[in-house]
Structure 1
Amino acid sequence: MLEVTESTAAHPVRGAGVLRVWMVVAAFVVVGAAVPISLHFARYGLNVGQIILVTFTWINVMIALWEISLNLRISLIERQHEQFVEEYRGRELDRVIDFFTARIRVREILRPSTWAQVWSSYSLFDPAYANRKSFGFWVDSGNGYVTLIPSLLFIYGLTFDIVPARTLGIVGLIVFWMMFYGTVIYYAAYFFNKEYVGHTRRNLALFIGGTNSLWIFAPAWGIVASIILINTDSYGFLR
């Protein structure tokens, strides 16, 4: 693990910027997905299967960058977790709202310490993300480093024939299976260790079920699409 020392005190993003954190996240997802989808549409027309794959895979690019921040700033996250547990006890949802509605300066957008707060906030629901010895920390850190480049290759390979369809299918099968398998094991560990104790059903449905279920259903479609690419060695059904 590459550990980078962070001297900043552990507290939420603050600043005089006009942007909010949620605006940056929304812009990254919408613009980042719109570019490859538009390029694909200009060449081949509308394809719903391609739109779903590209949108999800681009979200995974964003998450991968956050996961790299998790790895680089684990010491900061551990400190913030201790602080937030005391400050937000019994109102964990407020911590998430405070982070995503906080003002953010442009120069803070590229700082790993900014996006580390995703994990120190999430750690109020699952303390594994403030524990460098946990499976959750390592599986997500690994996802960040390992899937970033393959995800970008898959996104643009569906349009520009960067590699043969069968090759891209193999890449997709590996990446989407990693996501699917990792999420299933994460759920198993979370419930086996009873990390849900003390949280409301609403919060669990939103932050454990809602966020992670995307990494069950979307990778399942990615696996199916990748198998078709491998078997047919053709991009036809996604164009």
Structure 2
Amino acid sequence: MTIRLGSLAVGVIAVLTAAGIVVRYWVHAHLNVWFCLLSLFFSTNLLICYWETCLIRYFDLIRQRAGYWRQRREETGRSPFVEFLKTEIPLIKVLSPQAGADMWAFYTLYDESYTDKRTYGFNIDIANGFFTLVPTLILYSAFAVAFLPAHFAGILGVMLFWQWEYATSVYMVSFYVAGRHKLISRADVAIYIWGANATWLLFPLLGLYVSIRLIVDGDYSVLGYR
């Protein structure tokens, strides 16, 4: 049996998000819109963290697959985005590097820095993958069940969310400074560059607000805890 890459990504994010929401409701018997939104963000980042570790671990495979997707674009004359989402992966290999490698290989159609170890984008995503996985799990758990003092959770949140906001902003600046936006169409820039990175620009702003409130209020009231 196989599963499509797009379905795999949506499924993993949905399961992780639902897990946090269910635990929150089971423990506290109520939900909060800010928590639900941040659950979606944390879950997305957890999946991306795993895939980001593939950047350095399977660099040669990514370069190989990047050539494949470039060839497919040349053959069809259009973006192979739908074909990419429909890529079939055996169920027994859902945790294999193929999914992560293919994701980065496809993204290199719009930003080739992910096949160059010297670039900012390549290295900042490796750092995010290896260094924010555990803090993301801790903060997600703290927001779900409030097991940390609010001040501690808030400080950790400010550190993490500011890192995501800053790192993504610098990536966007580097993309334009390097002139990579001139190599693709404006539509591709909007969809695949801004669209793909909007999650790490917008959600951290909400996270910063929530985290600062945790510090200032000294409790979890911003997340609906009473």
Return the TM-score normalized by structure 2.
0.92
Q: Is the 8 A contact 1:92 1:125 kept in 2?
A: no
Q: Which residue of 2 aligns with 1:19?
A: 3
Q: Is the 8 A contact 1:58 1:152 kept in 2?
A: no
Deviation at 1:83, TM superposition (A): 4.0
Q: Which residue of 2 aligns with 1:145?
A: 130
Q: Which residue of 1 aligns with 2:113?
A: 128
Q: Deviations over 1:121-153 (max 9, x none)?
A: 101100001111111110000000111111111
In 2 relative to 1, CA 136–91 (structure 1 residues): closer, same or farther, beyond 3 Å? farther
200, 203, 223: which one aligns with 1:215? 200
Aligned length: 222
What is the SS of the residue equivalent to 2:109? coil
Q: Is the 8 A contact 1:108 1:114 kept in 2?
A: no
Gap regions ≥5 residues in structure 2: none
Return the TM-score normalized by structure 1.
0.87
Whole-angstrom distance in 1 between the partners of 2:158 and 2:168: 15
Please state which structure has a larger fraction of its residues in helix. Answer: 2
Matches within 5 A, 1:138-177: 138-177=123-162
Q: Deviations over 1:172-230 (max 9, x none)?
A: 11111111001110110101111122322222211111111121110011011111111
In 2 relative to 1, CA 231–91 (structure 1 residues): closer, same or farther, beyond 3 Å? farther
Matches within 5 A, 1:192-207: 192-207=177-192
Q: Which residue of 2 aligns with 1:28?
A: 12
Partner AA of 2:23 in structure 1: L
Matches within 5 A, 1:86-101: 86-89=71-74, 91=77, 93-94=79-80, 96-101=81-86
**TM superposition outliers: structure 1 runs of 4+ over 4 Å:** none
Whole-angstrom distance in 2 between the partners of 1:71 and 1:120: 13
Q: For the aligned residues, what is the CA RMSD?
A: 1.6
Gap regions ≥5 residues in structure 1: 1-16
Structure 1 window deviating more from structure 2 (195-204 vs 176-185): it is 195-204
Whole-angstrom distance in 2 between the partners of 1:21 and 1:86: 19
Deviation at 1:91, TM superposition (A): 4.1
Whole-angstrom distance in 1 between the partners of 2:11 and 2:219: 32
Partner AA of 1:69 in structure 2: C
Matches within 5 A, 1:36-47: 36-42=20-26, 43-47=28-32
Whole-angstrom distance in 2 between the partners of 1:18 and 1:140: 28
Using the aligned pairs only, state the percent identity.
27
Q: Is the 8 A contact 1:92 1:124 kept in 2?
A: no
What is the SS of the residue equivalent to 2:110? coil
Matches within 5 A, 1:59-78: 59-78=44-63
Partner AA of 2:69 in structure 1: F
What is the SS of the residue equivalent to 2:182? coil
Deviation at 1:86, TM superposition (A): 3.8
Partner AA of 1:39 in structure 2: V
102, 107, 110: which one aligns with 2:95? 110
